């Protein structure tokens, strides 16, 4: 067994780069590396990066006591449609669950929309005679004589994987399991995903979609994960590999092979986990994490140091990030909203003469016009260059040439000419619009979650987060911003703090007043032992924490509120306690409860996880030192629009306790922090940059 003091290593394989981070036994990040991702065999890039950090530390791979892996492979396979040939099997009479979906157009005024491509065409949708009712009682037994025809149909369409979703299988999986056994007996090479395993929740459309997504990537991911584990074992790795999941926890390779859909979108979770840990260290109980990269901005609400979670996610939304335009999956996810607003987002003037920014992005190729690699459209980065916030000499440590004149020309071309604005004014307009869009997205997300944005602390990171943080914060009514150390590294560092965990959700409809306590206690006990078994396989000895919850709503409503259940078997007296807890939570969201209305429960959830390592307490901060700037440079003030002299400070020169007032730019290798004129900066004991709005300083 590795000792308590051994190293933890995280590998985050993204589309472009593979990031590695290592923490020592005290939980301090002691080495990082960034290497190009090797798409034909991603394991190779991971191995290269791992060797680099091991060399930096002068240790062998056997010194690694914990290994966490996150990858975009599952997500990309779904987006780029590189998965298996999947056939769907549903109950007779319900062949078209996928195509009928919710019968809705995702865009009200667009009469030319296409419905999302849900992977399995009608010609590969098959049915079998059987039927359960809503209680899971068998109305029509599974017709086993139908298996011959089904096998013939699967053969005829060259299916490589099968997604089975029978009606009400969340209540009784017997028919699905029997069908799997019958298929396995005839065609042992087929991958079979059962909806009762993948997503045992009511609503056949989402359950089938989730099962299809799982089946689609299962052959690919099973092969990849086996190879990844073998390769590292052959190098001498002695600890098990744990996989990062979309819910922000880790699970075993075996579970990931069985339920690969749970790996989807696990990468960005690392950022939310990082923000949650930063929040906990600084005692910030209401936080908005704000991650802006080149193409998108991702926002997550973090209350009491836990990122908001959800059970809905949409894969591969149509280009404009429109809700309903992607493939819905129901898995536990860290709830983030993603909007098409980043450094590369392209600005244009719309048919009404208004500036519009994104979601189209110049990406990394050709990139913003200022990168002088052929980009001609004005982007957010071009605006930031012209506003003076990006120092051409120091961008990306001087490795990338910044062409200010090209940025100005692009601003004139894309915006200035149409609106008769000089480049500086066009840049200001673009900045205002994109910052407003990001603040609006945050406000909307908060409202949809029944929460407020104002009064939160923003924790900003990503390549463009620190640059736009104060501008967005001001518009969102946020007066407090934290920029953690190494804001460009992000996810891999977050992975190091993730617990081993597994979450299960099951549907069982009940009215609170007439709840069958014995049945529900038995259901929850089974769920806890199922989830604990998964966690135990990755964390044999750690103490486990168990969180049980019911998703409750007033009868007739569509929106459910998650209510934590007590830690004991439910008793008659708990009904009143739960009613009160629901009404308190309801009032917090909607001002007032609805007396006399009955309460119903559709879903039950269980989350079993290892306890997170406790955070170190507030570090002592030495006496304040007022920082002397290294130099000054002219920038356009983002509040007044006037030209002002901003202090230039290198982050590496800052130490805890340092303070300065805006306007200033804090420069570090992968990003720059803009300290606006109405913000004051201090450096806390964790080396975070803390920006506080000075009221009245406008």
Partner 1 sequence: MTPDITMLHVMWNRLLSVVEEQGQALIRAAFSPIVRECGDISAGIFDLRGRMLAQAVTGTPGHINTMAEAVKTLLTLFPVEAMEPGDIYVTNDPWIASGHLNDFLLLMPVFHEDHVIGFTSCTSHLVDLGGKGMGPEGTDIFDEGLRVPPCKLVNAGEINALLVDIVKANSREPIANEGDIYALIACCETGSARLSGMMAEFGLDHLDPLADHIIETSRRGTLAAIAEVPQGVYRNRLMVDGYENDIELFATLKVEAEGITLDFEGTSGCSRYGINVPLNYATAYSVFAMRCIIGPEIPNNAGSLDPFRVVGPEGCILNAVAPAPVAMRHTLGQMTPDLVFGCLHQALPDRVPAEGASAMYDLPLRNAPEVAREGGDVFAIEFVHNGGTGARPAKDGLSATAYPSGVLGSQVEISESVAPVLIKRRELRPDSGGAGRMRGGLGQHIEVESANGNPFLLFLSVERVKYPAMGRAGGQAGMPGRIRVGDGEDLPSKGEVRVEAGETLIFETPGGGGFGPPSERARDAVARDVEDRVVSAHVARASYGWGSE
**557 touches partner 1 (CB under 8 A):** yes
Q: Segment near partner 1 (CB under 8 A), from 93-101, 218-226, 381-389, 460-468?
A: 93-101
Residue 168 engages partner 1 in binding (rule: CB under 8 A) = yes
Question: Concatenated DSSP letters for 371-418?
Answer: G-SS--S-BHHHHHHHTT-S-TTTGGGGTS---HHHHHHHHIIIIIHH
- Residue 69 in contact with partner 1, rule: CB under 8 A: no
- Separation of alpha carbons 312 and 323, rounded Å: 11
Question: Which range in 104-112, 377-385, 516-524, 566-574 contacts partner 1 by CB under 8 A?
Answer: 104-112
Considering only 61-69, 101-109, 327-335, 562-570, which stretch makes contact with partner 1 by CB under 8 A?
A: 101-109
- Region of 70 (left: φ > 0; alpha: ψ -120 to 50; beta: rest) is beta
Yes or no: say if 563 and 553 are a contact pair by the CB < 8 Å rule. no
Question: CA–CA separation, 499 vs 85, rounded Å?
Answer: 34
**Both tokens of residue 1?**
């067994």
d(C-alpha 398, C-alpha 691), whole Å: 26
Q: Calculate ∠ Cα 170-174-176, nearest 5°.
A: 75
For residue 78, give Cα distances in angstroms to 3, 40, 106, 118: 39, 16, 20, 10
Residue 572 Cα distances to 121, 517, 564, angstroms:
49, 8, 16
- The token duo for 645 is 């002299």
592 near partner 1 (CB under 8 A): yes
Tell which one of 58, 188, 189, 596 touches partner 1 (CB under 8 A). 596
Among 447, 571, 576, 619, binds partner 1 (CB under 8 A): 447
Whose Cβ is closer to partner 1: residue 346's or residue 433's? Answer: 433
Give all strands (DSSP E) within 79-229, no chain letters. 86-91, 125-128, 131-132, 138-140, 161-165, 191-194
Contact between 432 and partner 1 (CB under 8 A)? yes
CA distance 88 to 293: 37
Cβ distance to partner 1 smaller for residue 125 or 256: 125
| Binding of residue 101 to partner 1 (CB under 8 A) | yes
From candidates 444, 523, 585, 621, binder to partner 1 by CB under 8 A: 444
Distance from C-alpha of 382 to C-alpha of 402, rounded to nearest angstrom: 9
Site for partner 1 in 112-151 (CB under 8 A): 112-115, 121-123, 133-134, 139
The answer to whether residue 202 forms part of the interface with partner 1 (CB under 8 A) is yes
CA angle in degrees (0–180, nearest 5) for 604-260-190:
110
CB of 15 to partner 1, least distance (A): 31
List the interface residues with partner 1, window 322-381 (CB under 8 A): 350-355
Binding to partner 1, residues 529-548 (CB under 8 A)? none
Buried b (16+ CB within 10 A) or exposed e, 270-281: bbbbbbbbbbbb
Using rule CB under 8 A, residue 602 touches partner 1: yes
Q: Which is nearer to partner 1, 127 or 251 (CB)?
A: 127
Please state the closest distance from residue 102 (CB atom) to partner 1, in A: 5
Minimum distance between the CB of residue 137 and partner 1, rounded to whole angstroms? 11
Sites for partner 1 among residues 452-511 (CB under 8 A):
475, 477, 509
Give the gyration radius of the chain's Cα atoms: 26
Residue 382: DSSP 8-state:
H
Q: How far is the CB of 420 from partner 1 (least distance, A)?
A: 9
Residues that bind partner 1 (CB under 8 A): 93-96, 99-105, 108-115, 121-123, 133-134, 139, 167-168, 202-205, 350-355, 419, 421, 425, 428-429, 432-433, 436-437, 440, 443-444, 447-448, 450, 475, 477, 509, 554, 556-559, 589-592, 594-597, 602
């Amino acid at each position: 067994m590795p000792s308590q003091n051994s190293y933890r290593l995280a590998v985050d394989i993204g589309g472009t780069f593979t990031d590695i981070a290592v923490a020592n036994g005290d939980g301090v990040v002691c080495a990082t590396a960034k290497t190009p991702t090797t798409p034909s065999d991603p394991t190779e890039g991971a191995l290269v990066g791992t060797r680099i950090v091991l060399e930096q530390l002068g240790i062998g791979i056997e010194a690694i006591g914990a290994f966490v892996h996150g990858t975009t492979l599952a997500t990309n396979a779904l987006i780029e449609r590189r998965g298996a040939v999947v056939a769907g099997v549903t109950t007779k009479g319900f062949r078209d669950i996928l195509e009928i979906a919710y019968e809705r157009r995702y865009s009200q005024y667009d009469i030319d929309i296409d419905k999302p491509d849900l992977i399995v065409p009608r010609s590969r949708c098959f049915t079998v005679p059987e039927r359960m009712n809503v209680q899971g009682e068998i109305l029509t037994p599974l017709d086993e004589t139908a298996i011959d025809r089904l096998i013939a149909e699967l053969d005829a369409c060259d299916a490589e994987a099968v997604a089975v979703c029978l009606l009400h299988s969340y209540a009784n999986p017997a028919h699905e399991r029997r069908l799997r056994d019958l298929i396995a007996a005839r065609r042992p090479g087929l991958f079979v995903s059962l909806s009762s395993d993948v997503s045992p929740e009511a609503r056949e459309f989402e359950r089938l979609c989730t099962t299809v997504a799982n089946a689609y990537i299962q052959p690919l991911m099973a092969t990849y994960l086996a190879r990844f584990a073998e390769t590292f074992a052959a190098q001498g790795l002695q600890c098990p590999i744990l996989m990062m999941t979309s819910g922000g926890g880790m699970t075993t390779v075996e579970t990931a092979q069985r339920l690969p859909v749970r790996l989807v979108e696990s990468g960005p979770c690392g950022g939310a986990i990082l923000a949650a840990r930063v929040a906990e260290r600084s005692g910030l109980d209401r936080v908005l994490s704000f991650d802006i990269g080149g193409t998108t901005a991702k926002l997550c609400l973090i209350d009491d140091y836990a990122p908001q979670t959800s059970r809905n996610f949409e894969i591969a939304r149509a280009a404009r990030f429109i809700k309903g335009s992607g493939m819905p999956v129901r898995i536990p996810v860290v709830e983030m909203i993603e909007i098409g607003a980043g450094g590369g987002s392209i600005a244009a003037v719309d048919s009404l003469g208004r500036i519009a920014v994104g979601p189209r992005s110049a990406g990394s190729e050709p990139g913003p016009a200022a990168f002088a690699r052929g980009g001609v459209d004005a982007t957010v980065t071009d605006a930031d260059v012209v506003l003076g916030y990006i120092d051409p000499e120091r961008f990306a440590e001087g490795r990338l040439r910044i062409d200010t004149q090209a940025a100005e020309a692009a601003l004139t071309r894309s915006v200035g000419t149409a609106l008769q604005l000089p480049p500086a004014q066009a840049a200001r307009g673009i900045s205002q619009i994109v910052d407003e869009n990001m603040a609006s997205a945050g406000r909307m997300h908060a409202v949809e979650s029944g929460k407020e944005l104002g009064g939160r602390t923003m924790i900003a990171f990503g390549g463009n987060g620190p640059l736009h943080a104060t501008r967005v914060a001001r518009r969102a009514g946020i007066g407090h911003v934290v920029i953690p150390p190494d804001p460009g590294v992000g996810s891999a560092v977050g992975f190091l703090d993730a617990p081993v965990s597994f979450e299960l959700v099951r549907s069982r409809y009940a009215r609170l007043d007439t709840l069958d306590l014995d049945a529900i206690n038995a259901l929850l006990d089974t769920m806890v032992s199922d989830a604990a078994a998964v966690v135990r396989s990755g964390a044999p000895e750690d103490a486990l924490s168990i969180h049980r919850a019911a998703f409750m709503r007033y009868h007739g409503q569509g929106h459910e509120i998650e209510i934590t259940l007590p830690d004991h078997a439910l008793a008659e007296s708990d009904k009143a306690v739960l009613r009160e807890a629901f009404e308190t939570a309801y009032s917090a969201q909607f001002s007032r409860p609805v007396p006399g209305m009955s309460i119903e429960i559709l879903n039950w959830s269980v989350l079993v996880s290892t306890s997170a390592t406790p955070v170190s307490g507030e570090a002592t901060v030495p006496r304040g030192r007022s920082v002397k700037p290294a130099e000054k440079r002219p920038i356009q003030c983002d509040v007044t629009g006037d030209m002002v002299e901003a202090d230039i400070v290198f982050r590496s020169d800052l130490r805890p306790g340092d303070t300065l007032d805006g306007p200033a730019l804090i420069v570090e290798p992968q990003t720059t922090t803009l300290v606006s004129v109405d913000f004051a900066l201090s450096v806390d004991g964790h080396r975070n940059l803390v920006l506080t709005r000075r009221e009245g300083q406008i």
